[in-house]
Structure 1
Amino acid sequence: MPNPTAAMLVIGDEILSGRTRDSNLHYLARALTDHGIDLREARVVADDAAAITGALRSLSGRHDHVFTSGGIGPTHDDITADCVAAAFEVPIDVREDARALLADHYAQRGTELNEARLRMARIPEGAGLIENPVSIAPGFTLRNVHVMAGVPSIFEAMLASLLPRLTGGAPLLSQTLPVLRGEGDIAGPLGALAARHPELSFGSYPFVSNGVHGSNVVVRGQDAAAVNAAMSELCALFPGAVEGAQGGAAPGGAMK
């Protein structure tokens, strides 16, 4: 049975302007790979309601899960929650359990739960909360859309709260073989090897080391025996051209 599929929607003018470097996509991709959910698509959109709503509708209809980051804070440009509500045509308002979390958090800090901070308790009707152990303000899941913060430490903590609740498939295993030949030299044999192993995926990623052109050839699949067999064939294809190869199929994006 194929693994569930996912997409990520990164939201924020600061990402598109280059002011902020996104790291959440990289973190999510590795976490989902280990969990057995295949990340198939990623988009970045501005803080624009029509763009966010349109992307949510498109992605949620094409994938089992959609993960968002950004736009759930207390300021005027934090519009993600409203856009999720609009995309699924449900009401949104301050929810009492979310309000209680914020009220207790700010009371302990001696800080006022003002109108701006209360915006973070606005949750679309029918959504379930995603715990936020870092700054308390919750994310939420509505249908197959999981809404989380853009700050990496908070995003990662929310994801740790969410992932155990999601059903995954078989983790993706990978091995990498550094071959000291250019891609043009290995393309033919590598293509033939890939054709013999349609159950696996093969990638080639060029590098230059001490003036020598090489390629990191990556073999990925869910069957460790199949990955190991393909790697053995790969090593036999390029005797004497392999640098620092290590055996053993590794979970996720691990390079071994």
Structure 2
Amino acid sequence: MTNQSLTAAVLIIGDEILSGRTRDSNSGHIAAFLTEIGIDLKEIRVVPDEEDRIVAALNALRAAYTYVFTTGGIGPTHDDITADAVAKAFGIAIEHHPDAVEILRRHYATPEELTEARLRMARIPVGATLIDNPVSKAPGFHIGNVFVMAGVPKIMQAMLLNVEKELEVGVPVQSITVDCPFGEGMIGTALAEVARTHPLVSIGSYPILAARNFSTKLVIRSRDPVALAAAKAAVEAMLAAIIRDKAGDSTLTDY
């Protein structure tokens, strides 16, 4: 059974994102993944490696949305504090998960390689279930409506595939793009009227500057295919009317 009201937030954790040293690609990947399975991503937050900030953000997001996906801060170093922060947010203890320890023991060739630092990656809040990590083995975890994943994009993407089976499926949003031959300033009022009279769709306008002239991509989105088709027809009729009214006007491509 599908659900049309599923929502989500992404919590990106790490000083390196806020400093600009590392560029976040995880939120975009998660957004595309959620769109395909009909879950609306409503918010993305970035917080530093500070426990109180992580706890506050996590508690706010998990209360507001169906699901929360975190990335970053579950590695072997001192600043990897996400697991501790999640435990604190839920008011539970954290301990070495026996299955996570065993996964790491099998992964490293000798006992000496499984250092104290690496064992930190087996510390999981009590009651959480593990998220498989086929890339580097150290697992993520799932507790309540929160899914905690690695920050390294390749690892996060592999974990996310293993999360999908735990999620309720929504109704996917369909989209249609209409090419508009002139800038937003020419269509703003008429486009607002189309949007007002088609409440079951959302319409986004995205300007494009080529040479010195603007054009616009109009992206129409909806879960209702009939409403989507009707809005597309209305947008196309609006553009045709403007072109007829402004025929020969040299300002057509002005922003």
TM-score, scaled to structure 1: 0.91
Bigger Rg, structure 1 or 2: 2
Residue in 2 aligned with 1:55? Answer: 57
The reply to whether residue 78 of structure 1 matches residue 80 of structure 2 is: yes
After superposing the two structures, state which structure 1 stretch, 80-89 or 229-238, moved more: 229-238
CA distance in 2, matches of 1:26, 1:100: 33
Q: Is 1:98 aligned to residue 88 of structure 2?
A: no
Q: For 2:226 and 2:156, how far apart are their aligned partners in 1?
A: 35
1:14 pairs with 2:16? yes
| Residue 235 of structure 1: how far off its partner (Å) | 1.3
Instruction: Report the alpha carbon displacement of residue 238 of structure 1 after superposing the two structures with TM.
Output: 1.1
> d(CA) in 1 for partners of 2:98 and 2:171?
38
Paired position in structure 2 for 1:193:
194
1:208 maps to 2:175: no
Distance of 2:20 and 2:57 partners within structure 1: 21
Task: Determine what percentage of the aligned residue pairs are the same residue.
Answer: 51
Q: TM-score, normalised by structure 2?
A: 0.91
Match of 1:173 in 2: 174
Partner SS, residue 47 of structure 1: coil
Cα displacement string for residues 162-200 of structure 1 (whole angstroms, at most 9, x for unaligned residues)? 012200210011111121211111111111111111011
Select between 169-178 and 149-158 the one with higher mean Cα deviation: 169-178
Q: Distance in 2 between matches of 1:128 and 1:110?
A: 25
Q: Which amino acid aligns with 1:28?
A: I
The letter for the 2-side match of 1:92 is I
1:241, distance to aligned residue in structure 2 (A): 8.3
| CA positional deviation for 1:110 | 8.2
Q: AA paired with 2:19?
A: S
Residue 80 of structure 2 aligns to a residue in which SS? Answer: coil
Q: CA deviation at 1:203?
A: 0.8
Aligned equivalents of 1:215, 1:74: Cα separation in 2: 47
Structure 1: gaps spanning 5 or more residues: 243-256
Q: Within 1, Cα distance between the matches of 2:11 and 2:229?
A: 34
Residue in 2 aligned with 1:254? none
Which segments of structure 1 move beyond 4 Å, counting only runs of 4 or more?
none
User: Could you tell me which residue of structure 2 aligns to residue 31 of structure 1?
Assistant: 33
User: 1:234 aligned to 2:229?
Assistant: no
Distance 2:102 2:78 in 1: 22
Aligned residues: 241
Deviation at 1:225, TM superposition (A): 2.5
User: Given the alignment of the two structures, is residue 132 of structure 1 paired with residue 133 of structure 2, yes or no?
Assistant: yes
> What CA deviation, in whole Å up to 9, does each residue of 1:84-134 have, x standing for no partner?
000001000101000001100112x88611100000000101101111111
- Alpha-carbon contact 1:180-1:212 (below 8 Å) kept: no
Distance 1:194 1:19 in 2: 40
